[in-house]
Amino acid sequence: MIRRAVLVLLGLVWLGPTYLLLVNAARPASGYDPASAWIPSGDFALLENFGRAVEGANLGGSLASTALYSVVSPLLGVLIGALAGYVIVVLRLRHGFWWFLLIFGGTVFPSQMLLVPLFVGYSDAGLYDSRLGLILIYTAINVPLAAFVLRNFYSGIAFSIFEAARMDGASTFRVFWRIYLPMSLPALAAVFILEFTFIWNDLIFGLTLTQTEDVRPVMTAIAGLMTDVYAGTPVPVGLAAGLVVSLPTVVLFLATQRLFARGLSLGSVQ
């Protein structure tokens, strides 16, 4: 009984900030008062506040660009990662383990260490403040996780499947495309969901590598909007923008939670 009460109390404490966000994001823009932040206003102005944020910070262009990054980069990342796992495990690449360490070793370094080299390199290569530049860096960041999960997944598939397909005359790429890739769709979907969420919520790379409103990711635009709160943007408008923009990742997880759990279990270490 005591344990349950403690868990309920901790849950309420954890939900406190969420409650504040919901209450104040739905408050009319002119009705925000820090002294009554815990008390609902009785008016629902969430969509109106979000509309003001879209109009004032040009979130429409940022949302479109973020949707592009969040779909294209994970797709490329899981495909390249699946190819890497296939080559290392199924084709038995020489020194395959060391190649895998080379691919996955990049995740050891914090992202902050990459910012200055990326900024300088992108500026010299003409990729700064471009959608192509962000797609490239997001894809590169997503490949190691996909390679890790798919390497473990392919390690659990009998090698005789590959041998039988080769004896039937299928090329190595055809075996991958028609047999191994369809078999690994749940694992690929789980990795895609994780990478979609990471890219959608990214702030640091968008803040470093973009400048214009139509190219920068939406979380970078939201950060700029929240900075403008101190310059006259109403607090409910900034909160409404952050809340609505976060909904796609929540909906995606709720809609695919079974597929996500199944994919991670299939991609676990065998």
Question: Each residue of 98-126: pLDDT tens digit?
Answer: 888 888 877 778 888 888 899 999 999 99
Q: What is the pLDDT of residue 228?
A: 56
Q: What is the pLDDT of residue 74?
A: 94
> Left (φ > 0), alpha (ψ -120 to 50) or beta: where does 53 sit?
alpha
Question: Each residue of 30-45: pLDDT tens digit?
Answer: 777 777 778 887 777 7
- Of 162, 189, 34, 186, nearest to 90 (Cα)? 162
* 238 Cβ contact list (under 8 Å, min separation 6): 53, 222, 225, 226, 228, 229
Question: Each residue of 179-214: pLDDT tens digit?
Answer: 898 888 888 888 898 899 999 999 899 989 998 888
Q: Which helix (H) or strand (E) holds 71?
A: helix 59-85
Residues of the chain where predicted confidence (pLDDT) is lower than 50: 269-270
Q: What is the pLDDT of residue 72?
A: 95
- Domains (range + CATH), the chain: 59-266 (1.10.3720.10)
Q: What is the pLDDT of residue 263?
A: 62
